[in-house]
Amino acid sequence: MIRRWVAPVFWTALLALFVVDQTVTKGILGMLCPGQVNLLYPRADLLSLTLEHLALVATSSALAAIVGVGAGLAVTRPWGTLFRPLADRLAAFGQTFPPAAVLALTIPWLGFGFAPTVLGLWLYGTLPVLRGTLVGLGQVSVSLLDAGRGLGFGPLSLFLQVEGPLAFPYLWSGLRSSVVVNVGTAALGATVGAGGLGAPIVSGLVTQNYAFLLEGAIASGLLALTVDAWFGVVARPNPSS
């Protein structure tokens, strides 16, 4: 029971350690880049950058979850099957489409900044969630639902007690991968004025300052690992597997 909390707590601790206290950050960066004078990205402190990044990811992923799960649910109901091929195609397309390209395509029309980036991340993030939802709902056997209906489960209780729980692990996996990729794509948001942890990285690349580079890279890396680990807490294994 306790084991599943080890990873998330560990990564959160590392993240907090690196991000919260400036002296720690300076110390680590100083060790890694001896001889570098400017160690910390000047335009914003690491903590607010991290929170900014988190805000980008959280907002877009929450929206993506709502739309992705909603669409997946709608398309698997009898009244929604008309749109199922479209949903399947979209979900498959999302796997081929490069994440970096999505910002490049949405920004020119939506402008620069926080909100347009959230929009772009949202649109792209919906697809893996949709895929997970479709896979999860699709693998629930029809005869199982028939048995449930025959026993007297109403549509809502059938979904809440049978279909939903059985589909959930796949949905969760889709959501997890969507959010983790989102953390990575959001880093590129720095190139379109959205802020976040990409900013020190890009700045470091431009000015050849490896400390800035590492500041952003380590922080965003730890953030991604932390988020992924927290998703792992609810990775309930399916009893039938």
Footprint on this chain of another protein (rule: CB under 8 A): 32-33, 82-83, 85-86, 89, 95-101, 104-105, 107-109, 141, 143-144, 146-154, 157, 161-162, 165-166, 180, 183-188, 191-192, 198, 201-202, 204-205, 208, 210, 213-214, 216-218, 220-221, 224-225, 228, 238-240
> What is the nearest approach in angstroms of another protein to the Cβ of residue 218?
7
Q: How far is the CB of 89 from another protein (least distance, A)?
A: 6
Name the minimum Å distance from CB 213 to another protein: 5
Sign (positive or negative) of CA dihedral 201, 204, 210, 211: negative
Tell me, rounded to whole angstroms, the distance of Cα 211 from its chain centroid: 26
Q: Are 87 and 130 in contact (CB under 8 A)?
A: yes
Tokens found for residue 124: 């792209």
Give the nearest distance from C-beta 191 to another protein in angstroms. 5
Estimate the share of the chain in helix, then strand, then coil, as percent rounded to the nearest 5. Answer: 80, 0, 20
- 134 vs 224 by CB, closer to another protein: 224
- By beta-carbon proximity to another protein, the closer residue of 195 and 204 is 204
Min CB(227)–another protein separation in Å: 8
Is 149 strand, coil or helix? helix
> In terms of CB distance, is 38 or 157 closer to another protein?
157
Long-range CB contacts (within 8 A, 24+) of 29-38? 29/211, 29/214, 29/215, 30/211, 32/210, 32/211, 32/214, 33/210, 33/211, 33/214, 36/209, 36/210, 36/211, 38/209, 38/211, 38/212
